[in-house]
Amino acid sequence: MLLANIVYSVVFNKCPQCHQGKVLTYPPYQINKLLDTGESCVHCELKYEKEPGFFYGAMYVSYALTSGVFIVAYLLQLLVLDLPETQFALSMVSFILLTFPLVARWSRLLWLNFFVSYDPLKSNISISKQSNSK
Ligand SMILES: [Zn+2]
Protein backbone atom coordinates (compact mmCIF):
# COMPACT_ATOMS: atom_id res chain seq x y z
CA MET A 1 0.00 0.00 0.00
CA LEU A 2 3.06 2.25 -0.11
CA LEU A 3 2.23 3.48 -3.61
CA ALA A 4 -1.41 4.11 -2.69
CA ASN A 5 -0.29 6.16 0.33
CA ILE A 6 2.06 8.25 -1.82
CA VAL A 7 -0.56 8.81 -4.52
CA TYR A 8 -3.13 9.86 -1.91
CA SER A 9 -0.70 12.29 -0.27
CA VAL A 10 0.37 13.82 -3.60
CA VAL A 11 -3.03 14.10 -5.27
CA PHE A 12 -4.86 15.43 -2.20
CA ASN A 13 -1.97 17.60 -0.90
CA LYS A 14 -1.84 15.80 2.42
CA CYS A 15 0.95 15.39 4.95
CA PRO A 16 2.84 12.20 4.00
CA GLN A 17 3.07 11.08 7.62
CA CYS A 18 -0.51 11.45 8.88
CA HIS A 19 -2.60 12.18 5.73
CA GLN A 20 -4.45 14.86 7.72
CA GLY A 21 -2.72 18.26 7.41
CA LYS A 22 -2.08 20.11 4.16
CA VAL A 23 1.48 20.56 2.88
CA LEU A 24 0.92 23.33 0.34
CA THR A 25 -1.16 26.11 1.83
CA TYR A 26 -2.87 27.53 -1.27
CA PRO A 27 -4.74 25.93 -4.18
CA PRO A 28 -2.89 25.49 -7.51
CA TYR A 29 -4.76 28.28 -9.29
CA GLN A 30 -3.20 30.94 -7.05
CA ILE A 31 -0.08 31.12 -9.19
CA ASN A 32 1.76 33.68 -7.05
CA LYS A 33 1.48 31.39 -4.01
CA LEU A 34 1.75 28.15 -5.92
CA LEU A 35 4.52 26.57 -3.85
CA ASP A 36 3.92 28.17 -0.45
CA THR A 37 4.53 25.35 1.99
CA GLY A 38 3.56 25.29 5.63
CA GLU A 39 6.41 24.97 8.12
CA SER A 40 4.98 21.88 9.74
CA CYS A 41 1.88 19.72 9.76
CA VAL A 42 -0.89 21.14 11.93
CA HIS A 43 -1.94 17.61 12.81
CA CYS A 44 1.23 15.59 13.55
CA GLU A 45 3.78 18.47 13.67
CA LEU A 46 6.02 16.93 11.00
CA LYS A 47 8.50 19.58 9.84
CA TYR A 48 8.19 19.71 6.04
CA GLU A 49 11.45 21.43 5.11
CA LYS A 50 14.05 19.07 6.57
CA GLU A 51 16.92 21.48 5.92
CA PRO A 52 17.41 24.77 4.07
CA GLY A 53 16.94 24.20 0.36
CA PHE A 54 15.32 20.80 0.91
CA PHE A 55 12.76 21.34 -1.83
CA TYR A 56 15.40 22.06 -4.51
CA GLY A 57 15.42 18.29 -4.95
CA ALA A 58 11.87 18.52 -6.26
CA MET A 59 13.36 19.93 -9.47
CA TYR A 60 14.68 16.46 -10.29
CA VAL A 61 11.23 15.00 -9.77
CA SER A 62 9.74 17.70 -11.96
CA TYR A 63 12.30 16.92 -14.66
CA ALA A 64 11.46 13.21 -14.48
CA LEU A 65 7.70 13.84 -14.64
CA THR A 66 7.99 16.21 -17.58
CA SER A 67 10.40 13.90 -19.41
CA GLY A 68 8.02 10.99 -18.88
CA VAL A 69 5.16 12.97 -20.39
CA PHE A 70 7.35 13.93 -23.36
CA ILE A 71 8.42 10.35 -23.96
CA VAL A 72 4.84 9.03 -23.85
CA ALA A 73 3.61 11.86 -26.10
CA TYR A 74 6.44 11.31 -28.54
CA LEU A 75 5.70 7.58 -28.73
CA LEU A 76 2.02 8.39 -29.30
CA GLN A 77 3.04 10.82 -32.02
CA LEU A 78 5.20 8.22 -33.73
CA LEU A 79 2.84 5.28 -33.45
CA VAL A 80 -0.68 6.76 -33.48
CA LEU A 81 -1.14 10.48 -33.98
CA ASP A 82 1.24 11.39 -36.80
CA LEU A 83 0.57 15.13 -36.45
CA PRO A 84 2.60 17.73 -38.36
CA GLU A 85 5.79 18.55 -36.42
CA THR A 86 4.89 22.15 -35.63
CA GLN A 87 1.41 21.18 -34.43
CA PHE A 88 2.91 18.47 -32.21
CA ALA A 89 5.52 20.87 -30.81
CA LEU A 90 2.95 23.58 -30.11
CA SER A 91 0.59 21.13 -28.45
CA MET A 92 3.40 19.84 -26.22
CA VAL A 93 4.47 23.36 -25.22
CA SER A 94 0.85 24.26 -24.46
CA PHE A 95 0.39 21.10 -22.44
CA ILE A 96 3.54 21.72 -20.41
CA LEU A 97 2.58 25.34 -19.70
CA LEU A 98 -0.95 24.40 -18.67
CA THR A 99 0.14 21.56 -16.41
CA PHE A 100 3.09 23.42 -14.87
CA PRO A 101 1.23 24.33 -11.64
CA LEU A 102 0.25 20.72 -11.00
CA VAL A 103 3.64 19.30 -11.94
CA ALA A 104 5.45 21.77 -9.68
CA ARG A 105 3.20 20.96 -6.74
CA TRP A 106 3.22 17.21 -7.30
CA SER A 107 7.01 17.26 -7.62
CA ARG A 108 7.33 18.94 -4.25
CA LEU A 109 4.89 16.52 -2.64
CA LEU A 110 6.58 13.49 -4.24
CA TRP A 111 9.98 14.70 -3.04
CA LEU A 112 8.65 14.98 0.49
CA ASN A 113 7.10 11.50 0.21
CA PHE A 114 10.51 10.05 -0.68
CA PHE A 115 11.71 10.91 2.83
CA VAL A 116 8.59 10.47 4.95
CA SER A 117 6.31 7.46 4.94
CA TYR A 118 2.76 7.11 6.15
CA ASP A 119 2.33 6.19 9.79
CA PRO A 120 -1.27 5.31 10.72
CA LEU A 121 -0.49 5.91 14.40
CA LYS A 122 0.40 9.55 13.65
CA SER A 123 -2.93 10.02 11.93
CA ASN A 124 -4.73 9.42 15.24
CA ILE A 125 -2.59 11.75 17.38
CA SER A 126 -4.86 14.75 17.20
CA ILE A 127 -7.96 12.70 17.89
CA SER A 128 -6.44 11.33 21.09
CA LYS A 129 -5.20 14.83 22.04
CA GLN A 130 -8.70 16.21 21.55
CA SER A 131 -10.34 13.42 23.54
CA ASN A 132 -7.82 13.91 26.37
CA SER A 133 -8.45 17.65 26.56
CA LYS A 134 -12.22 17.23 26.91
ZN1 LIG B 1 0.94 15.32 9.47
Q: Are 50 and 58 in contact (CB under 8 A)?
A: no
Q: How far is the CA of 87 from the centre of ligand 1 (A)?
A: 44
pLDDT in tens, 86-98: 999 999 999 989 8
- The Cα angle at residue 10 between residues 8 and 13, in degrees rounded to 5: 95
Q: Which residue, 18, 34, 16, 14, is CA-closest to 26? A: 34
Q: How far is the CA of 34 from the centre of ligand 1 (A)?
A: 20
pLDDT in tens, 17-31: 999 999 999 887 888
One-letter identity of residue 36: D
pLDDT at 36 over 50: yes
For residue 133, what pLDDT is reported?
45
For residue 134, what pLDDT is reported?
42
Model-wide pTM > 0.75: yes
Q: How far is the CA of 123 from the centre of ligand 1 (A)?
A: 7
pLDDT grade, residue 12 (50/70/90)? very high
